[in-house]
Amino acid sequence: SYVLTQPPSVSVAPGKTARITCGGNNIGSKSVHWYQQKPGQAPVLVIYYDSDRPSGIPERFSGSNSGNTATLTISRVEAGDEADYYCQVWDSSSDFWVFGGGTKLTVL
């Protein structure tokens, strides 16, 4: 089955840029979605189709996808961005949704 690999943790200072990666075999050929999950809360969709933002999601959140790596980029990081982030793709070979293991973003 298809595997998505995320770094367990990423740390960034306020005002800087955070980049969270999601690795997978030829992931660039798939559409990647990203979710933000704060403690005790349900996940929230922040990026879909690699780089589109749902309404209400700040422009600071952006995404890219090429080759074997998709990336969620958060610019001008704020304390409120501290959360777990998950990538997700559709595995068409097995017909199921796959999530990455999640990355904990810490704002220093």
Between 79 and 95, CB nearer to other proteins: 95
Q: Residue numbers of the site for other proteins (CB under 8 A)?
A: 1, 31, 33, 35, 37, 41-45, 48-49, 52, 54, 86, 88, 94-102
DSSP state of 66: E
The nearer residue to other proteins, 9 or 17, going by C-beta atoms, is 9
Among all chains, which residue has been given the structure tokens 């922040």? 46
Instruction: Centre a 10 Å sphere on the Cβ of residue 86 and count the other Cβ atoms it contains.
Output: 22
- Looking at the Cβ atoms of 42 and 79, the one nearer to other proteins is 42
Grouping H, G, I as helix, E, B as strand and the rest as coil, residue 29 is helix
